[in-house]
Structure 1
Amino acid sequence: MSFCDLLKIEFIKVKRSKIVPLIFIAPLLVVTTGVASLSHHFTPESTNAWSAMFIQSTLLYAYYLLPLSMIVVCVMIAGRETGNNGILKMLALPISRYALSIAKFCVLVFYLFMEVVVFLVVFLIAGMLATRTMGVTEALPILYLLQRCLGLFLTMLPSIAAMWAITVLFEKPILSVGLNLLLIIPGVLVANTPLWIVYPYCYSGYLVSCLLYDFTAETSGAAAFEMLPFLPCAVVMFVLCFVLAVTQFGKKEMR
């Protein structure tokens, strides 16, 4: 069986799950509240309205709601195998458990991408309604929004790799969810210390915090967010968590 065939099977498995409705909840919640709280302060002469709305909407989303929704997605994907000893049935087939774990992680990355896309679409709709209602004439900074959403997606990759590794290591959902929650909660605090560089759970939130700093300091670009030494550390954290998840997936059942 090729990896593409295995990937198709994994998508079929989660087709009837509640993952798709789930990825709409967090974007709808943060965008509507974030845009609504700022739109009343806009005037036709307002500048940087789109940036303000984006940062207001993503601050809570990046630190908590997006990671929380990904934890649930991890458990739902893993649950397709743990229920009714499905993992034993899969491992009985001539399929590499490494390939199976990688395929599941690819499904997880796909749903992360879809949630970020949903967030962008919902934000664009809410933002256009708010700016038109308040008479704001600022042009839509589509390139800015695409870059920031791409940054949100990329900085979440090490985090979901860690989430998936914990989900694989702890078979019981309550343990994996509980541990991941414990790691998410102090994200804001860790982001304000030098340790943030080795704490993937706060990467996305730290990115948005840097955007907020740049916005309030009236600087251009993401001057507060330095790619070095972030990028090497993020790659190392991603690789370590990914390798751990792949090598440990199905290991207990193979004994």
Structure 2
Amino acid sequence: MNFLELIKIEFMKVKRGKILLLIFVAPLLVITSGIANLQAYFTSEYTNTWAAMFIQSALVYAYYLLPLSMIVVCVMIAGHETQNNGILKMLALPVSRYALSAAKFCVLLFYLFLEMLVFLIVFIIAGLIVTNTSGIIEALPFMYLLKWCTGLFLTMLPCVASMWAITVLFEKPLLSVGLNLLLVIPGILAANTSLWIVYPYCYSGYLVSCSLHDFTTDSINGSFELFPFLPCAILIFTFMFMIAVTRFGKKEMR
């Protein structure tokens, strides 16, 4: 059984779950509330409408709702193996447990990508409605929105790897959810310290905070610097991914 077949099997396991419904809830909630709060201030002369709407919506989303939704997705994906001793049945097959864990992680990344795509589409639809009803004539900055949504996806990768590693290490959903939740909550505090670079749970929120800084100061160069962020993020992602892969199913193999 090759790796692509494993991924296909993992998708078959989760297709009847409620993950698709979950990834729609967070974007819809944060976008409708965020844009609604700003709509009262919009006039036909308002400028940088799209940037203002995006930052207003993405701040809470990046710091809290996106990580929280990914925590639930992690638990739901892992739950298919913990229920009814499913993991024992899978490990009895001629399949590497390392490949099995990696396949599950690929499914998790797919749902992260899908949620970001939903966020982008819902935001564009809501933004077009608001700008038209407010009489604002401003072109849709699609590349701007695509750039920041791509940034949110990429900066979430170390965080998602950490969440998956914790989910693998702590088999009981209550423990894994509780620990991940405790790490998500202080994200906005960590982002305002020099230690943000080693705290993956705040990466996406920090990115949006930097976009807010650029928006309010009309910065050209941008306040988000790839170095030393990129080497640190790659190191954390690799380390957490290796923990998840090597520890998955190890207890059951004894």
Residue in structure 2 matched with residue 68 of structure 1 by the alignment:
68
Residue in structure 2 matched with residue 134 of structure 1 by the alignment:
134
Counterpart secondary structure, 1:45: coil
Residue in structure 1 matched with residue 194 of structure 2 by the alignment:
194
1:70 and 1:119 map into 2 onto residues whose CA distance is: 14
Q: Is the 8 A contact 1:40 1:134 kept in 2?
A: no
Is 2:208 the partner of 1:208?
yes
Matches within 5 A, 1:48-87: 48-87=48-87
1:149 and 1:87 map into 2 onto residues whose CA distance is: 35
Structure 2 counterpart of 1:85, one-letter code: N
2:5 and 2:107 map into 1 onto residues whose CA distance is: 13
Is 2:18 the partner of 1:18?
yes
Is 2:226 the partner of 1:227?
yes
Q: Is the 8 A contact 1:23 1:69 kept in 2?
A: yes
1:25 and 1:92 map into 2 onto residues whose CA distance is: 37
**Count of matched residue pairs:** 254
Is 2:121 the partner of 1:121?
yes
Deviating beyond 2 angstroms after TM superposition, the runs of 4 or more aligned structure 1 residues are none
Residue in structure 1 matched with residue 47 of structure 2 by the alignment:
47
Residue in structure 2 matched with residue 254 of structure 1 by the alignment:
253
1:243 and 1:165 map into 2 onto residues whose CA distance is: 8
2:107 and 2:20 map into 1 onto residues whose CA distance is: 12
1:129 and 1:220 map into 2 onto residues whose CA distance is: 29
Residues 58-115 of structure 1 deviation map (CA, whole Å, 9 limit, x = unaligned):
0000000000000000000000000000000000000000000000000000000000
Q: CA deviation at 1:220?
A: 3.0
1:5 and 1:182 map into 2 onto residues whose CA distance is: 35
Residue in structure 1 matched with residue 168 of structure 2 by the alignment:
168
Residues 155-185 of structure 1 deviation map (CA, whole Å, 9 limit, x = unaligned):
0000000000000000000000000000000
TM-score, length basis structure 2: 0.99
Residues 167-221 of structure 1 deviation map (CA, whole Å, 9 limit, x = unaligned):
0000000000000000000000000001100000000000000000111112235
Structure 1 counterpart of 2:242, one-letter code: V
Structure 2 counterpart of 1:206, one-letter code: Y
Structure 1 counterpart of 2:144, one-letter code: Y
Counterpart secondary structure, 2:209: helix
Q: Percent identity?
A: 72
